[in-house]
Amino acid sequence: MKNSLINKLLKQYVEDIQGVLTVLVYDRKDYSLLSYFNNTNLNEVHLNKHLSQINQYFDGIENEYGKQNDFLIIRELDNNKIVFCSTDSFSMIVTIAEKETSDIDLKVYSIHVAGEIERLSGIEVKESEGLELKTPSTIKIYSKVKKIKLLPKKLLMKVVVIGEYKAGKTSLINRFTEKSFSTDLNSTAKFNVIKKVLNIDDNIIMNLAIWDTGGLSSQISPTKEKIY
């Protein structure tokens, strides 16, 4: 795991959400602390107090989610909230925030940051040089949209993935939908439609219909026009 990149990511997370005091990254194998970023609003005394309180939750998390990749838990403690979030079996982020901090912001950003940590763990050190880590505007917009009370519970989104022949469109889709990657894939003929259901939380379910199209050098351009 690239600590310099992780620190940049955690720093951006703390700066993006008002009320986040500190965010920590733990190894899920032994719950050792891998990295953390502490806001100046939380001094070392308070941080150490929260660290001891966080440790009390590890046994319960291991018993309930030991073999589960995805989970998000929010606990209120004293004047703060503690958020436990993981999107893989290797790491977990823990966010300490003020009690008034929006649950929606904490959920959306926690999931985003946890997913980024999983992605960064596979980047080679040389590839990481000069890599910018900025929160995507879609995450910021989505966090605001989720606060609208009239937002429907079930959303349908159609996504068409296009690109050059053998650019890696199918591999990208497989990584997103199945969390898998294969070096032995045949080129896509015509198109495939892959469905992905995202349970954002108890209130929102997003149904994605992802259209995987053949490369632009293939002979199906008339079909592409119909897809568009």
Q: What pLDDT sits at residue 140? A: 67
Q: Sheet holding 191-199: strands in order across?
A: 154-161, 205-213, 191-199
- CATH architecture, domain 3-145: 2-Layer Sandwich (3.30)
* CATH homologous superfamily for the domain 154-227: P-loop containing nucleotide triphosphate hydrolases (3.40.50.300)
Equal CATH topology for 3-145 and 154-227: no
Q: Specify the pLDDT at position 167.
A: 82
Domain borders along the chain are 3-145, 154-227
Strand spans (E) along 29-182: 33-38, 71-77, 80-86, 91-98, 154-161
Report the C-alpha gap between 170 and 175 in whole angstroms. 9
pTM for this prediction: 0.60
Burial code (b: 16+ CB inside 10 Å, e: under 16) for 193-223 equals ebeeeeebeeebeeebebbbbbbeeeebeee
Q: How many CB atoms sit inside 10 A of residue 40's CB?
A: 7
DSSP β-ladder status, 33-38 and 71-77: unpaired
* Coil, strand or helix at 195: strand
Give the mean pLDDT per block of 10 residues along the chain (228 residues). 74 87 90 86 76 87 83 86 89 91 88 83 51 65 61 76 83 85 71 83 80 66 65
pLDDT of residue 127: 44
Contact 81, 101 (CB under 8 A): yes
Rounded-to-10 torsion of CA 6, 9, 14, 17: -150
